[in-house]
Amino acid sequence: MNCEYFGKCASCTLYNKTYKEQLEYKINIEKTRFKDFLPSNFEVYESEEQNFRYKAEFRLWKSFTNDNKLKLSYAMIDFDKKALEINTCHIVSLDIKELMPKLLACILEDDILSFKLYGCEFLNSTKGETILTLIYHKKLDAKWIEKTKDLELKLNIKIVGRSKKQKLVLSDDYINEVLSINNKDIKYIYKENAFSQANTKVNIKMIEWIINNATLSNDLCELYCGSGNFTIALSPYFRKVLATEISKTSIQTAKINCELNAITNIKFARLSSQEFAQAYSKERKFRRLEDINVDISSYDFSSILVDPPRIGLDNETIQFIEHFEQIIYISCNTLSLYENLLSLSKNYNIKHFAFFDQFAYTKHIETIIILEKKAKK
């Protein structure tokens, strides 16, 4: 990928390498890190070399031309942590890339839209739906709504306005997505300002890899389920699924995703990993489980799937997940994953290990490991 901002924009830190070289560079680092854990048959899954991000956020930067006309650009942070004005971005999806200049032109034409506009966020689906969040340092009023409704129609997108203590939804605050998982279409909605996988096509590879490599039987427990990205796709392979998440919005979205796919064997509980461990061990009772008619003792769990935040799993959660025969661990931070494996490897064998290049041209890489409990001696 050739980008005029390589070496300037700090978003792509591995700018001085080809795609193949940057991936090899990252994998060599991880091979050294995981030398005591990495099986010889580990797998690596590539990203597309450009236009792979279906989520992106930018500052909107105002300046003036020599003849004192307002100029509007997107802005990222450079390597000196200063604003870098950009006109395009080659890692975002084609839909977002094509929308970016059109949006700037429309905003420049209107003082109401441009006044105190601070930033924007794009969320795009592979089916061509886009939701745009415009972020302001002002209160959004009826005049803004009128202008933005016209902008929605002109650009054929959905728009949400945000300001301090204010969120205005012009039409919808979600987009529709359909992922083909092992040749089966699975429907999702992605909510504005909620977590979703940025690299959609690598996300598909991650879901398919789990289905093709894990032992899928009995019941599944999932911690940190979000809006059901993995839950929905895995549910047909298990008798029942119990998934936990602390975000109300994510659970509401996950339930909608179940309805879209006519899935009835999942229960979503609003509990932290620590709270679920307490409920599982019968240390505490939770009204939140009673309200959704969940009796944990009725589940025959064979597997647990964890997708923790960058900090990884705390010691209490590690002790809890060791009750399960199979652990499916999805990690966005190899540092915390390594630390967790130091504990988990005492009682588990690593059955499968794969790297997924979700964030090309950066040092980050997604990892999935499937662990199987060691036989008792």
User: Which positions are annotated as active-site residues?
Assistant: 332, 366
Count helices and strands (H / E) in the chain. 11, 17
**3-class secondary-structure state, position 89:** coil
Locate 272 and state its tokens. Answer: 């932290």
* Strand 130-136, strand 117-124: pairing: antiparallel
Length of the chain: 377
Give the chain's end-to-end CA distance (angstroms, integer). Answer: 53
350 phi, psi to nearest 5 deg? -85, 115
Q: What span, in angstroms and rounded, lies between the C-alpha atoms of 59 and 73? A: 8
Locate 51 and state its tokens. Answer: 């236009």
Q: What span, in angstroms and rounded, lies between the C-alpha atoms of 48 and 355? A: 15
Q: What span, in angstroms and rounded, lies between the C-alpha atoms of 19 and 52? A: 13
Q: CA quadruple 183, 330, 234, 225: dihedral positive or negative?
A: negative
